[in-house]
Amino acid sequence: MAVTYRSATLDDATLAADVMTRAYPRLPQDPVLTRYRWERVRSGYRAARFLAERDGAAVAFLGWIHGPWTRLPDRHCEVEVWLDMAEQEASLVSEMWSWIADQALAEEAGVLLAYCGEDEPVMLESLASL
Read off the pLDDT of residues 80-112 as tens digits, 9 standing for 90 and up. 999 999 999 999 999 999 999 999 999 999 999
Q: Name the stretches of the chain with pLDDT < 70.
A: none
Judged by phi (left if over 0) then psi (alpha if -120 to 50, else beta), residue 75 lies in left
Q: Report the DSSP beta bridge partners of residue 82.
A: 61
- Using DSSP, state whether 22 is helix, strand or coil: helix
Give the C-alpha separation, 39 to 92, whole Å.
29
What pTM did the predictor assign? Answer: 0.95
- What pLDDT, on the 0 to 100 scale, is given for residue 88? 94
- pLDDT given for residue 85 in this prediction: 96
Residues 6+ apart with CB under 8 A from 121: none
Domains of the chain: 4-129 (3.40.630.30)
Residue in 98, 4, 117 with CA at minimum distance from that of residue 60: 4
Quote the pLDDT of residue 130.
84
